[in-house]
Chain A
Amino acid sequence: MRLGAVLTDPLLRDVELVQRLGFDLAWIDAGGAAAPLVAAAGAATVAPSVRLVVRVEAGAHPLTLAEECAVADLASGGRLTLTVAGADVALLEETVDVLQQALAARPFSHDGVHWRIPAGLPEHSDVEARIRVTPSPAQLELPIWVCGPAGPAVARSRMLPYVAVDDERAESPAGHWDATAATLGAACLRIRRPGVIDVVADGDGAFDRAALLRRLVGERAAWGMDVAVLRLPAGLRAQARCAALTRIAREVRPRLILDGLPQGLEQHWDAPDELHAEWTRDRGDR
């Protein structure tokens, strides 16, 4: 399972920490920054390896979104994933349809309910029948994920990953993925299964490790979650965020990678000093 962290600090100061701790991705949304794609380009400079998942709301002009995505993807050397949230199925569908065409590096036109591209306004004499959005993103296929109440329906109709976000799950992720698998069969294997999971933590960033692990392993078993983006409570101080993220990296991540661990390994991790002391005692007089 890949692990990510939601950047809750408005200045995104944690992005470097998140990368250093080995998280696979940083999630940037309007909770963290008013203009998440702009913030992502700044984060990309500070943290040169971590993947950046940016969440935007459907409704903005998809050509503008596509252009901003292309520039953010280029500025990050191809590390962008776009998540589009929406409550209205038709709006979310049209948004991702235009995005897909705009990012596909060929001229296109689009005639939809919300947008006609290009518009071909009669007062314009110098217009084109199709437009090409430039520059192209660095990635050949810029990942587009969907979430929000309209997410599952659009994910199924457009074969996209649906992000099950903890406080906005419209339907059970298991039901969604069963329906997707029923339609797609083995083709479903190429679609990532991300989730945003709330970490229950106190003001110092302390959390119940066993409970979090049960939660993550449970979601993986129930619907195949393969990307878990962990979200700390909003408003934690920097020190508490750092403590929680560090503990997730040190204690949660190693326990999630394999299906199970050999007997004794967890005890070894939890009490390295005792084992070490025992070992040196056993070596006798040296």
Chain B
Amino acid sequence: MRAPERAPAHHAELYAQLVDDARTAERLGFHSLWLSEHHNWYDGWCPALLVAGAAVLAATTTLHVGTGVLLLPLHDPERIARAGSTLERLAPGRTELGVGLGYREPELDALGLSRRRRGARMDRALDVLAQEWAGGGPQIWIGGIAERSLERAARRGLSLFLPSSMRPAQLARVLDGARQAAAGHGVELGRVGVLKQAWLTDGSAAEERRARSAIAQDIGEYGGAWWRLGGQRGFAAPELLGAQMRRSASTAAVGPAEAIVEELAAIEALGVDLVVLQLADHDSPAAYRENLQQIAADVVPQLA
């Protein structure tokens, strides 16, 4: 839902495309469509996921809508509870609420929220949602790989929503840890979802280079602008930022169908039951749709 510097767009057009893309994804057999949240950014990054999600749910009949992730501490939990209940009524059982802490100080400061209190606000919000949705509500996924996030999910028996840049060995370690922690609390961990930057190529090295470079550029843009690396803004620490860009590019599932199938199968073997593909390099909606269709035709059947 962004109109970044490299890809000008009218936002009303982006939201219309979102609904079209949702219908396409449903027709192609995808399980869900996921949206992510940020605020006060020049590219118009979607700040109100459940509002956008309602448009998608109303246009589809089986597709789920997920938030990957909704920054729960930035919201009034009672309002989120009501929004989730509204979606549940409009489209029963089709909302997946992935939640994260948020980290950008300008977003927190705009609302007068202390960065230090994010965790406490998250816990309170999860309590509110558990209470309000005791009779049924969206499934909750806890985003992030910080120790406390994993512990939070384990203690409550919630699902995990893990970021794209993990290698299989790290993913295995994290999952083991979370499952053990859950067992320690006498509960079973919920489902496990993994976000994966991806792009299906024609197998050529040039196409692969282009896609990985687009992923690196994207991370470079907001990592440089938002992240603190070695105590400085990302752009002021080019070496550290470069390392992050390379990591994101190298951990993305980019390549011909066989390569992507192999990568996703390895993830699935760890007990991950949902992979959310974030299609890189989709500055043109046409290219995005074509890639989505190709993935549905060439990758998905081989995983089933």
Q: Which residues of A contact B (CB under 8 A)?
A: 10-12, 33-35, 37-46, 60-61, 63-64, 67-68, 70-72, 74-75, 77-78, 115-121, 123-128, 131-136, 138
Contact = CB atoms under 8 A, between A and B. Distances in A.
B182 interface: no
B106 A42 contact: no
Contacts of B47: 67, 70-71, 133-135
Contacts, number: 155
A124 B113 CA distance: 10
4 closest A-B pairs (Cβ-Cβ)? Answer: A135-B44, A119-B112, A42-B58, A42-B54
A131 B110 contact: yes
B39 interface: yes
A121 B109 contact: yes
B132 to A, nearest CB: 10
A134 B12 contact: no
Contact of B109 (A45, A115, A124, A135): A124
Given A45-B19, A135-B44, A38 B76 contact: no
9 contacts: A35-B50, A42-B55, A64-B75, A71-B15, A118-B106, A119-B109, A119-B110, A120-B109, A134-B44
Given A42-B55, A127-B106, A131-B40, A74 B12 contact: yes
A43 B58 contact: yes
A117 B51 contact: no
B55 A45 contact: yes
Given A37-B51, A75-B51, A127-B105, A46 B111 contact: no
Given A134-B39, A136-B44, 9 more contacts: A34-B82, A34-B83, A34-B85, A39-B54, A42-B57, A64-B76, A77-B12, A127-B106, A134-B44
Interface residues of B, number: 53
A118 B109 contact: yes
Contacts of B58: 41-46
Q: Which of A11, A39, A127, A132 has the most CB of B within 10 A?
A: A39
A60 B80 CA distance: 12
A136 to B, nearest CB: 7
Nearest to B132: A34
Contact of A68 (B45, B48, B106): B48
B87 interface: yes
Given A75-B15, A123-B115, A34 B54 contact: no
B111 A75 contact: no
B216 to A, nearest CB: 23
B112 A117 contact: yes
A10 B15 contact: no
Given A75-B51, A131-B40, A134-B42, A63 B111 contact: yes
Given A72-B51, A78-B12, A61 B44 contact: no
B52 A75 contact: yes
Interface in B87-131: 87, 89-90, 104-106, 108-116
A132 B58 CA distance: 30
Nearest to A61: B111
B173 interface: no
B79 interface: yes
A42 B58 CA distance: 5
Q: Which of B111, B113, B115 has the most CB of A within 10 A?
A: B111
Given A77-B16, A134-B41, A135-B11, A35 B79 contact: yes
Contacts of A126: 104-106, 228, 233
A35 B76 contact: no
Contacts of B113: 119
A84 to B, nearest CB: 15
Q: Which of A34, A78, A127 has the most CB of B within 10 A?
A: A34
B115 A38 contact: no
Interface string B1-45: 101000000011011101100000000000000000001111111
B60 to A, nearest CB: 9
A41 B110 contact: no
A97 to B, nearest CB: 16
Interface string B150-172: 00000000000000000000000
Contacts of A118: 106, 109-110, 112
B82 to A, nearest CB: 4
B64 to A, nearest CB: 15
A213 B105 CA distance: 56
A68 B51 contact: yes
Nearest to A33: B86
Interface in B246-294: none
B109 A127 contact: yes
Contacts of A12: 90
A60 B76 contact: yes
Given A45-B19, A123-B114, A35 B55 contact: no
A118 B106 CA distance: 8
Nearest to A66: B47
B297 interface: no
Nearest to B47: A67
